[in-house]
Amino acid sequence: MANLRLPSLTCLIRTTTPPQQHSQTQSRVIPRACSSQTTSLSRRQLVSQTATLSLSLSVGSTICEEVAKSEEALSAWERLYLPIDPGVVLLDIAFVPDDLNHGFLLGTRQTILETKDGGRTWVPRSIASAEEEDFNYRFNSISFQGKEGWIVGKPNILLYTSDGGQTWERIPLSAQLPGDMVYIKATGEKSAEMVTDQGAIYVTSNRGYNWRAAVQETVSATLNRTVSSGISGASYYTGTFNTVNRSPNGSYVAVSSRGNFYLTWEPGQAFWQPHNRAVARRIQNMGWRADGGLWLLARGGGLYLSKGTGLTEEFEEVPVQSRGFGILDVGYRSKEEAWAAGGSGILLKTNNGGKTWIRDKAADNIAANLYSVKFINEKKGFVLGNDGVLLQYLG
């Protein structure tokens, strides 16, 4: 395979150019001892029943505490019902930083939803420039910086807003773009960084008028040069990423399409760096912990944490109650608290940075796979799944 050097896409020229929401109410059963009752008792009855009443209050108080704890555990997440087709897979979510009540939700089948109440209710959003052609777009990624926002999708489409999502314009893309756009990150005023599934990374600093290649070649070309260096499974690489995740400092970790190795890239590097997987099973997904280390999910429900922080090939497995279902994503709410989600409604929680995990039953009765955990901040979080499943974090 010939090496493919990434072009500087200076020819990317910008051109100028709701169903009723259902709510779910959870009924609560409170023990009789927890309710307030007024009873008329004689003095003799009051004296004779003092011991019994004290014991009842003690037991009732214990029951109330247990009920409160149970309800607290069950109320960490609430399902929101969306006005979309059941077969839609939700892929990404973002809010306007200047107005956290205003957000957008993306998915397959041309799905763009908008909220103006912090995510409680969502309505379909129509963008004319994304409906001019006879394509059924899969909107993969959205990102905001201030009032500027970006959306990318497949087949390749790039949308831009400068007014917090009130209006969106389409930016034409060059036919030379290698692969499909799977991720975009707003990095500053008029600036963004986008990634394709073939490992191309492009950056713009002038509102998308033109783009500069941040790596010199696709991952396929890199592997052709390094296949003799001992990367297991590189000869089976099909040329696309399975997943890609970005750290706050701009580093990337990506999983090969077969899950047999992973790649990393840091700002300033000319090429992706391939790594042998450190676990026996194939990799499902990888991402960044809040402390700067890596987490790794293996097929079959395995969860691993890297030793220390930064890039490394040393991982330790963490026991989890996955019930045999695969874990698909991890999202950190804080340095200590994180949530993992996966197949058949699996939800896991850690309160110690990932060392131990407990299963949360909030989604046990939801017949869907949960693909993505997104925390906008410590108070606002969402879990995205297939069949239009959206969970909102209640705290």
List, for residues 329-370, the tens digit of each pLDDT value: 999 999 999 999 999 889 999 999 999 999 988 888 888 999
With a cut of 50, say whether residue 390 has pLDDT above it: yes
Average pLDDT over residues 298-322: 88
* Average pLDDT of the residues of the chain: 83
Residue 174 burial (10 A CB sphere; 0-12, 13-18, 19+): middle
- Residue 273: in which H helix or E strand, if any? strand 273-276
pLDDT > 70 in the chain, percent? 77
Of residues 23 and 115, which shows the higher confidence score? 115
pLDDT range class, residue 43, cuts 50, 70, 90 = very low
The pLDDT score that the predictor gives to residue 50 is 42
User: Nearest 5 degrees, angle CA 145-CA 252-CA 380?
Assistant: 45
Pairing of the two strands 347-350 and 338-342: antiparallel
Residue pair 260/238 in contact (Cβ under 8 Å)? The answer is no
- How far apart are alpha carbons 164 and 149 in whole angstroms? 7
With a cut of 90, say whether residue 379 has pLDDT above it: yes
With a cut of 80, say whether residue 26 has pLDDT above it: no
The pLDDT score that the predictor gives to residue 386 is 96
Residue pair 260/233 in contact (Cβ under 8 Å)? The answer is yes
With a cut of 70, say whether residue 155 has pLDDT above it: yes
The pLDDT score that the predictor gives to residue 224 is 78
pLDDT range class, residue 10, cuts 50, 70, 90 = low
Alpha helices in the chain (DSSP H): 43-48, 50-74, 219-226
The pLDDT score that the predictor gives to residue 222 is 83
The pLDDT score that the predictor gives to residue 75 is 59
Residue pair 106/151 in contact (Cβ under 8 Å)? The answer is yes
- How far apart are alpha carbons 35 and 140 in whole angstroms? 50
Least confident of 78-87, 122-131, 225-234, 334-343: 225-234
Of residues 199 and 1, which shows the higher confidence score? 199
Token pair of 306, please?
């890297």
Over residues 241-294, the pLDDT tens digits come to 999 999 999 999 999 988 989 999 999 999 999 998 888 899 999 999 999 999
The pLDDT score that the predictor gives to residue 58 is 44
Distances (CA, A) of 129 to 21, 126, 204, 242: 27, 9, 21, 28
Residue pair 113/105 in contact (Cβ under 8 Å)? The answer is yes
pTM: 0.81
Q: Say how many Å lie between the first and final Cα of the chain, rounded.
A: 51
The pLDDT score that the predictor gives to residue 233 is 60
Residue pair 255/286 in contact (Cβ under 8 Å)? The answer is yes
Cα 55 to chain center, whole Å? 49
